[in-house]
Every structure is written in C-alpha cells, then in structure tokens.
Amino acid sequence: MGGLITRRLRNDAAGLRDAAALLQSGALVAFGTETVYGLGGDATNADAVARIFTAKGRPHFNPLICHYPNADAAFADVVANDGARRLAARFWPGPLTMVLPRRPASAVALLAGAGLDSLAVRVPAGVQDLLAAVGRPVAAPSANRSGHISPTSADDVFAELDGRIAAVLDSGPCAVGVESTIVDLCGPTPTLLRPGGITREDLEAEIGPLSEPGDAIRAPGMLASHYAPNAPLRLNASAVRRDEALLAFGPPLPGATFVYQLSAAGDLTEAAANVFAGLRALDELVRSVGLAGIAAMVLPEHGLGVAINDRLRRAAAPR
C-alpha cells in the first residue's frame, strides 16, 4: 500500500533541524511537550492549519493553542495584562495556556483561532529549542484523532496519526501527562476554562480567585465526550467485576485480575503522568482479552486530581 510515510525524528540537533524545516515548509510535525504530544503546524499558514483539522478528523474548527519559545514571542500576538504577565513569569515555560485578546496585527491565521477575537497562547517546557528554530507560532492540538485518548509518547502518536503527518519528533514520554490548564484573562475576572497541569490552587496563589466559566463561554473544544477509549469506562468503582480491567490508584480493589497502576503510593503527579497511557493500555487489553470494560478507582478531587478526574469523566461520557 502506498501513502505518506511518517518519519520518526530523534530529539537531537539534526532531528530538531529537520522538524523545524518541515514546519516552516507547511508540513505537520508532532512533538512532545511536558503535557502531551502536540500535532504542530505553522500557525501563520492557513493551509497548514486546515490540514491539522483534517489529520485529526476534527469535525469542527475548534480554536487551537499557539505555542511559543518564550513570553515575549507569545505577547507579540496577544495583549497581555498584569495578571498574564504575572502568570507568565511564574509558570512559563510550563503547562499553562492563557486566552487573551488577539492583536489585530498578529500573523496567526484566522482559522487557528476559529475566527475569535481572542487567542490561546502557551510556552511549553521541553520544546523551546524547536519553537525558537521555527521562528513562528506553532498551532498544536493534542496529536490524537478527534475524540481519542491524548498521546503521551511518540509510539502513541504513531498509533493515532501514522501516514497522516510528516514526522514525529520523539522526545520520550511526557512528564506531566495531562494537558495544560487554560485560563481566560480577557474579562474582568480570570476564568478557569480547563483544569490541567497547573492546579487552581497554584494559580490563585499568584493572581487571586478564579471564576468558573458559564456554560456558554467554556472552551469551545471541550466536548463532554473526549479522550474516549473504545471500551466502556466505569468511574469511582468500589468493587471490580471479573470481566473488567482495573485502573488503580493506590492499593488495587480486591479480585482484580488485570490492573494498570496509576500510582501505588497514591501520588497525583505520578497518576497524571500515567493516566492516558493507562487508558490506552487497558483499552488494548479489553480488546485483546475480550473483557467487558474498564473500572476506574476513586481519585481525590483536589490538586492535579481535578484535571485527572475531568479527563476520566470525559472518557466515560456517553457518545
């Protein structure tokens, strides 16, 4: 069978050069950030941005996050306010995305922002060399097919997008494991649009109370069903059936045969780094062994647990 061959690039000088050149030419390249792997394209190239949606099989033009090597580059495309500057100084590079008013002079393609007046910008850790080499904002949603589990390794990206993108820059497994926290700073009070790698507690310590989004202004791409394995997923399980695989947090429920341990010690940072890999592994196990589904144990609803539970609820939502 013929078709596009997706190259695996090493995360060394030659690999970075190739990845940057491909992105500058309008090709799509997936790369690891500290959160998950992103499916990158030149944000100033409308054609490249359109192909991101095609490669993901995204039904709608949801707005994408633009990635930058540093805050100065990010704030060239959006108007920063005091809160934004404080958050940037404290958390960038890191798993935080800010939604801010887009500058009219910004070269970011309108399609990348889905035509909104605002733009989501982020300075991720671990990929600044690539972003600096590209020299343009890079639009990057998570590098999975629409609705699927987010990828946290290069192999995950190949499982999702092989033959649909030019290359994957393999920088190993992602350290944080859940997507960035998204804060909307356009209005009078900052609003938490998506829980993620930076906790609400950390943000509020820096800029004071965050408001919850009204339903209408929730991040437009945040569908109820998302991150979905093929297998049915049952949450907050207090017992596990013989025909279920168990997603464990701390000592596994008695009677479980197939267990993926998120964190034996009950550590939320470790659990976040493992949650998407765990869903992926158990999904494959359910399929190959012929089990009925996945049962997930209870995780505490504080700190990084908020982001993990958010992803698990979406993975379990009816489709």
User: Does residue 33 touch ligand TXA according to CB under 6 A?
Assistant: yes
Residue 170-209 contact track with ligand TXA, rule CB under 6 A, x = bound:
---------xx-x----------x----------------
Tokens, residue 212: 């919850």
User: Does residue 142 touch Mg ion according to CB under 5 A?
Assistant: yes
User: Does residue 153 touch Mg ion according to CB under 5 A?
Assistant: no
| Residue nearer to ligand TXA on the CB measure, 112 or 256 | 112
Q: How far apart are CA 293 and CA 230, in angstroms?
A: 9
Q: How far apart are CA 180 and CA 129, in angstroms?
A: 19
Partner in contact with 131, chosen from ligand TXA, Mg ion, none, beta carbon below 5 to 8 Å by kind: none
> Which pairs with CB-CB distance under 8 Å and at least 24 residues apart come from 8-14?
8/154, 8/158, 8/167, 8/168, 8/170, 9/167, 9/168, 9/169, 9/170, 10/170, 11/169, 11/170, 11/171, 11/172
User: Does residue 180 touch Mg ion according to CB under 5 A?
Assistant: no
Q: How far apart are CA 40 and CA 279, in angstroms?
A: 24
Partner in contact with 120, chosen from ligand TXA, Mg ion, none, beta carbon below 5 to 8 Å by kind: ligand TXA
Partner in contact with 35, chosen from Mg ion, ligand TXA, none, beta carbon below 5 to 8 Å by kind: ligand TXA
Query: CB under 8 Å to 85, separation ≥6 — which residues?
Result: 71
- Count of CB atoms within 10 A of residue 2's CB? 5
User: Does residue 106 touch Mg ion according to CB under 5 A?
Assistant: no
Compute the least distance from the CB of residue 56 to Mg ion, in Å. 9
Residues 255-284 that bind Mg ion (CB under 5 A): none
The count of C-alpha atoms lying within 13 angstroms of the C-alpha of 111, restricted to the half-sphere facing its C-beta, is 17
Q: Which stretch binds ligand TXA (CB under 6 A): 30-38, 162-170, 198-206, 291-299?
A: 30-38
Binding residues vs ligand TXA (CB under 6 A): 33, 35-36, 38, 62-65, 97, 99, 113, 116, 118-120, 122, 124, 140-142, 179-180, 182, 193, 219-222
